[in-house]
Amino acid sequence: MSYKIALICGDGIGPEIVNEARKVLDKVCDVYGHSFTYKNLLLGGASIDVHGVPLTEETIEEAKSSDAVLMGSIGGDAKTSPWYQLEPSKRPEAGLLGIRKALNLFANLRPAYLYQELKDACPLKEERIGDGFDMIIVRELTGGLYFGERKTVEENGVKTAIDTLSYNENEIRRIAIKAFEIAGKRRKKVTSVDKANVLDSSRLWRSVVEDVAKDYPDITLEHMLVDNCAMQLVHNPGQFDVILTENMFGDILSDEASMVTGSIGMLSSASLNETSFGLYEPSHGSAPDIAGKGIANPIATILSAAMLLRYSLNLDKEADAVEKAVQEVLKDGYRTGDIMSEGCTCVGTAQMGDLIAERVK
């Protein structure tokens, strides 16, 4: 099959890590007989340098006309980069928020997976880790508290700040459908996280999720209050398969879940819209402190490319092959500096990409 993939290298280590992910995608093409056409697009600081703005119409239109977007990361060092002398709406991060909005990416997926080989990086005790964990957090990304009406008023010399948390049933339904579809490709369990003992928006959330669940009889649904979920993530992370939650809860829980894996260079992410289209990027930033040194860990970006194969191109076998290749490289004892441990072989960005590509079968 032929597919069109937009590549946004971005800033800092972005070009280095995207290059390695592309290497792995090319190997997938060779092994499985597909053809990928790539289009390089500018976003963030790289776009400011050329066009004076972090996001152009051209980038949006080209992204829309592709099957999926693979991105590195954007942004620079806020203390030294001239990009941060610009007003906030012209800075690199505004480009990222802008493209997510323009592409209507309402579902954010963040997997948290513990590789047995990297168990030492996990801050939890052995008995909590058990056989490891493998979960994915499906977070609503375009509604809720961060997008509701907000204002600060002053009465009789006392200031009051108001933020509004609102969800309509359509917004809840579409993200719930995503979570159930994803669970169908995994261990078939959805944990919907809310605060239904207090919030009206959570009570609506719960009733819509229950309604959607009726269409997925083979998937187990459980509800969990957000405070309990925060505890369970460090108490017994192995119990989770797919966690479905609203924007702010997901923001906090997904960072907690990623810290539990202990290695920032390994964490992939995806943002999807109502079709199979998505934008795939590592969870980490552009790491300006190590940019250009050839030492960045490309695995989060390579795993993001695996998610692209699975969720946008529906190539499950190919995605499995990439994930297995990553696992094998770790088993064979190769590490980039950020995940290095005694007895392993330290390799650079490009060599890590080569080693993974070699193992795609």
Query: Min. distance of Cβ 298 from ligand NAD in angstroms?
Result: 7
Q: Point out which span in 58-66, 69-77, 197-205, 302-310 binds ligand NAD (CB under 6 A).
A: 69-77
251 binds ligand NAD (CB under 6 A): no
Any catalytic annotation for residue 131? no
Catalytic residue among 26, 77, 134, 251: 251
Are 201 and 168 a contacting pair, CB within 8 Å?
no
Are 18 and 71 a contacting pair, CB within 8 Å?
yes
Catalytic residue among 255, 316, 320, 332: 255
Nearer to ligand NAD (CB atom), residue 109 or residue 219 = 109
CA distance 361 to 317: 10
Near ligand NAD by CB under 6 A: residue from 53, 118, 290, 344: 290
Are 310 and 319 a contacting pair, CB within 8 Å?
yes
Are 50 and 44 a contacting pair, CB within 8 Å?
no
Nearer to ligand NAD (CB atom), residue 59 or residue 297 = 297
Near ligand NAD by CB under 6 A: residue from 5, 287, 313, 355: 287
Nearer to ligand NAD (CB atom), residue 190 or residue 296 = 296
Any catalytic annotation for residue 146? yes
Of the candidates 330, 303, 304, 349, the residue with the CA atom closest to the CA atom of residue 17: 349
Query: Min. distance of Cβ 285 from ligand NAD in angstroms?
Result: 2
Residue 187 sits at φ, ψ, to 5 deg, of -90, 10
Any catalytic annotation for residue 251? yes
Neighbour count for residue 255 (Cβ, 10 Å)? 13
Q: Point out which span in 126-134, 170-178, 250-258, 288-296 binds ligand NAD (CB under 6 A).
A: 288-296
Helix (H) or strand (E) holding 162: strand 158-163
73 binds ligand NAD (CB under 6 A): yes
Q: Point out which span in 74-82, 189-197, 216-224, 252-260 binds ligand NAD (CB under 6 A).
A: 74-82
User: Who contacts 218 (Cβ-Cβ below 8 Å, separation ≥6)?
Assistant: 184, 188
Catalytic residue among 4, 119, 146, 189: 146
What is the SS3 assignment for 247?
A: helix
For the purposes of burial, counting CB atoms within 10 Å of the CB of 281, is it exposed (0-12), middle (13-18) or buried (19 or more)?
buried
Near ligand NAD by CB under 6 A: residue from 36, 41, 55, 75: 75
278 binds ligand NAD (CB under 6 A): no
| Contact positions with ligand NAD (CB under 6 A) in 89-128 | 93, 96
Of the candidates 177, 192, 309, 325, the residue with the CA atom closest to the CA atom of residue 249: 192
Which parts of this chain interact with ligand NAD (CB under 6 A)? 13, 73-76, 93, 96, 264-265, 281, 284-290, 296-297, 300, 338
Catalytic residues: 146, 195, 227, 251, 255
